[in-house]
Chains A and B, each alone.
Chain A
Amino acid sequence: MALPQSLRTSVTPLELELIASEQLVEIVPLITMEKTAFISGAYGPLRPPAKCRIPLWMATNLKLKKKCHIVPPEWLSADFLQERLAKETSRPEFSKLPLRFAEIAKVILDVASDDVQNADKIKSLLKDLREARQAKSRDGLQKLDHSELSLPNLCSMEINEIRPFFIQAMGILTQLDREPSAE
């Protein structure tokens, strides 16, 4: 078949990671490289120790070959995440985080945890954040009806997680709503 069954209703976390890897991150290169034209744009020149912005996939590639250090984005710090977690647990709404924070954090912590300060602390904070937000999105199910549900500041990975269930629930609500008028 043109599209495997598992890909028909949703996208996979790996596909989301692929998309997130297009975003630019800052690196400190350990090699020199001239400015190079890529399909997504021209990057470089790399001149150690000057910082440079390149796509995350390229940074991962360089990092795995020990040819650069990744400078984690500002939000990937223990202080920032601690503050967001405090907001997350004290207020009813979702706190503002980059749309693809979960994917980017995962990629960076996987390949470059030595470039991140307090990597272990950040990992546990991300986990706490995730749990706090998960509980909120489950509560959102109560408000679901057949027409609309606003989910401000929800992140792409979280959307992907609740998608199958929420869409099915909405489909059933739509059916229930349509039936009385059809009679």
Chain B
Amino acid sequence: MDIDGDDFFTNLDRPGRAVNNNAFQERLRQAPRDEEDAAIPDVPPFMLEEEEETPLQQLIRHWMNERHAPDILSNEGELLAGLLDHIRSQSETVQLLRTDPSSSEEEHFRIMLVQTEVERVKFIVRSYLRTRLFKIEKFARYIMTNPEVQQRLSESEVDHARRFAQLTDQHFYHAVLQSLPETQQTLDDQPPFVPSMITEPDKTRGVFVLARQDCPPVRLPDGTALEMRKGHISLTPYSVVEQLITRGEVELV
């Protein structure tokens, strides 16, 4: 197999990622280098915000949002598909170079680094999906009774929720409910003064939010308004910032 070893990984850069690489180049240029005497910025470099979010950083943000939010958030199918494609192409390259006996020691080292990163990304993808799976199973009945919530799920996720809800219903029926009087056989009673039988996400639960940009004012439960500037950190009920999370103006930390 004839591989131009030196440029192989470099050539993997696909057109779709040009923007991010530019951002990276930008950062590189800002970084003080030996051969060029870069002007020292007023703000220490570590206080500078990253201008462009890479797909991986986006996934990390959605992963953390999902982990902290009590409700199930919108499915990031497109982002996930892009990253999975990227993982696949990196793994294929690694396989290809591994079976090539002519690759140098430096090449092996690069393979090892690429593989390490692939494993890191896979971990994040898995953890993200497992978090969603956990919420889908916990709120299966709630999801099936709310078409609005179903829109936030992918097709296969809705499918899973449907089957899971059916299975638990059947199980409860066969185990207990069938021997009860008919009026007590339902699973979705909403008797007064006791919590509903359907598990719903507790949107009043507190979350820690970090504003990614200046946000429009939001209304707090005590009636006052909260206007978050970029970088502001707050502990507040989830329902207050629900919209801001959907729009990506804040993230949960």
Which stretch in A108-116, A121-129, A145-153 binds the other chain? A145-153
Closest 4 CB pairs of A and B: A3-B134, A170-B206, A2-B134, A2-B133
Chain A interface residue count, CB cutoff 8 Å, equals: 58
B215 interface residue (CB < 8 Å to A)? no
Which of A7, A18, A38, A167 is B206 in contact with, Cβ under 8 Å? A167
Q: Work out how many contacts link A and B, with CB atoms closer than 8 A.
A: 164
A39 and B109 form a contact (CB under 8 A): no
Cβ distance A13 to chain B, nearest Cβ, rounded Å: 14
Encoded as 1 (CB less than 8 Å from any B CB) or 0, chain A from 6 to 30 comes to 0110010001001100101010000
A152 and B221 form a contact (CB under 8 A): no
Which of B11, B46, B137, B226 is A74 in contact with, Cβ under 8 Å? B46
Q: In the bound complex, how far is the Cα of B11 from the Cα of A39, in angstroms?
A: 13
Name which residue of chain B comes closest to A146, CB basis: B221
Contacts of B55 in A (CB 8 A): 39
Please tell me the size bucket of the interface on B: 35 or more
Contacts of A26 in B (CB 8 A): 31
Q: In the bound complex, how far is the Cα of B10 from the Cα of A163, in angstroms?
A: 42
Name which residue of chain B comes closest to A28, CB basis: B34
Interface of B is mostly: helix
Q: In the bound complex, how far is the Cα of B106 from the Cα of A42, in angstroms?
A: 17
Name which residue of chain A comes closest to B93, CB basis: A37
- A174 and B114 contact, Cβ closer than 8 Å, known pairs A37-B12, A39-B83, A98-B47: no
- A40 and B235 contact, Cβ closer than 8 Å, known pairs A98-B47, A156-B253: no
A1 interface residue (CB < 8 Å to B)? yes
- A3 and B221 contact, Cβ closer than 8 Å, known pairs A18-B120, A40-B56: no
